[in-house]
Structure formats: C-alpha cells, structure tokens
Amino acid sequence: MLSVFENRTTLRTRELVAAGMTRSQIAWAVGAGRLVRIRIGHFCLPELDVATQQAVRIGGRLACVSELARRGVWVTHPPRQPHVHLAANASRLRDPRVMTRRLDPRSGCVLHWGDIGERGGDSRVSVLAAARQSMACLDLHDAVATVESSVQNGLISLDALRAGATAAELAVIARVDGRAGSGLETLVREALRDAGLRVEPQFRVAGVGDLDLLVEGVVAVEADGRRFHGGAVAPADRRRDAVVSSLGMTPLRFDYAQIVYDRSSVLRAIAGALLAHRHLHGSGRRRARRLLWASAPQVS
C-alpha cells in the first residue's frame, strides 16, 4: 500500500480506488492506523508531518513560513498555527485538527488566498512561492533573514526570486547579503545597517577565524544560535575573545533570546561599545550615538 503514494503526500479516494484499493480496504487501513483520513476524501500516510496534514485538513496546502520552516529555513518566529495557501474559490474550510468542525476565524491559522502562478505539490506550495509569500507576510528584517536562509540552504536562487518580483519583493531581495552564518546574524546586521553603521559579515581575522559581524572596524559581534543554554561561555570562545581584544577590537556576544526577543538591548550594547572605543570618530560616532538614543527604553 505504501507504493500507492509514490511521490505524493496525499491521495483522494478515487486515486486510491484507481490504484486497486477497494473502499472496504481503505476503511480497514484507516481503522488499522495505516492510513490517515485527513479530510473527507483525502488520505495520507501516518508519517506525514502534522503541519502538512493540518493545511490539507483546512482545505489548502502548506505555505509561506510554515513550509519554509519545515524545510529547515530560518524563521524568526516559527508559527504555532499553519500558514495555508487556498485557491480563490476554496470553500468548506475545516478546523486544522478536527475535520468535522468548521474553521474558526480566530484559530490563528494564516490564510493566503489566490493564484500564485504555479501548482507546487499536492499538499505544499513550492519553495519559491513560499519565499514570495514570506516577503509579504513578515516584517522587513525577518523577511530578509528568511529569504537569505532559503538561498544559503540552496533551496532557491536570487535570480529565480528576482524574476517577476514586485517592487516590495525586490526591496527585500536587495538586502540579501549571502554571507550570514545564521538568521541571528542577519537580524543584527540589518538593524545595524539601517542605523547607517558599517558592518562586515564573516570578517576574517588571523588567529581567530571569521567574526560573525565586525561593526565600524572596532566591535566584533558574535551570535550564539543555541535557543536554550545556561549562558556559559565556552573556554574556546574566551580564548577567541582574548585574541580579538589583543587586536584592539571589542568583543561582544549575544544569545538567541537576546537577539530574537530583546534586540533593542543588543543594539544598545553595540552602540555603547562603539562610543567607548577611542578609534571611532566622525560619522560612525554620530551614528552610534543616534542608535544608542533610538534603542533606549521608552518611558511611558
């Protein structure tokens, strides 16, 4: 029965019957847990991921950041409820968990309606379509991080993204640097560049290796991609920071939670380190001062 699906993730009743299964066999397979009835007339194998099952149960295909996250692309805030692409005439939308219940508009599911100009798969949009949807769905810095991750993972190319892109999409694509080691680096880089500061990603330093970000030539920023850790700095990182300091640069380290949930404090720390550095002059110092002021906590 597994061979019936071949390269498909879902099949309809008529397709299973055309493949040689009787309706009684289909019912038995569902009862035995060998098939999952996602939606009336739609079936999948039990190992199909939950997000895709939910998208099909709603009445569409997995889309946008949900599909990108499934493929291992950086998404700053992975969605708790699926993003779903729906045809313009889609109807009878169902709850993502219970196919007999109508979809509640307050469910948190994000619906992307309309023609995307390509078919994609039977239950998921293409990576290219998902990336385009993400550029309209996310704020600017998050969109840049997600698109950059898609490109660096080899899932899409910048040329494919540029072809037929809207002005808004081109504005996101133009920011894709291609040198970031992680989505965290992209988020910090874009915020610093928006502040007018000079930022060099993956800056090579003899005896150290590549710095995640070198800001104005004097502050070395490292982003720790681990979501959960005790905050301890590894001995190798301490040695690395010592070498950076010996070269006249100020090392700063930030973890996942700081960058994702408290970015203003990260920017404030970088601005403070810049202003404290005796070799920063002119426009760099003025921009660092403006960034320090802009990232300060607002008194309500």
Q: At residue 253, does pLDDT exceed 80?
A: yes
pLDDT of residue 165: 94
The percent of residues above 90 in pLDDT, for the chain, comes to 79
What is the DSSP code (8-state) at residue 94? Answer: B
- The CATH number of 183-294 is 3.40.960.10
CA neighbours within 13 Å on the CB side: how many for 110? 19
pLDDT at residue number 87: 92
Q: How open is the CA angle 255-131-226, to the nearest 5 degrees? A: 15
Q: Which region, left, alpha or beta, applies to residue 154 given φ > 0 means left and ψ of -120 to 50 means alpha?
A: left
Q: Is the pLDDT of residue 147 over 80?
A: yes
Q: What is the pLDDT of residue 120?
A: 65
pLDDT in tens, 53-95: 999 999 999 999 999 999 999 999 999 999 999 999 999 999 9
- List all residues 6 or more positions away from 244 whose beta carbon is below 8 Å from its beta carbon: 205, 208, 211, 220, 250, 251
Q: Per-domain residue ranges for the chain?
A: 49-173, 183-294
The pLDDT of residue 44 is above 60: yes
Answer whether 179's CB lies under 8 Å from 201's CB: yes
Does residue 228 surpass a pLDDT of 60?
Answer: no
**Quick one: pLDDT band at residue 227, thresholds 50, 70, 90?**
low
Question: pLDDT tier at 2 (50, 70, 90 boundaries)?
Answer: low
Residue 294 has pLDDT above 60, yes or no: yes
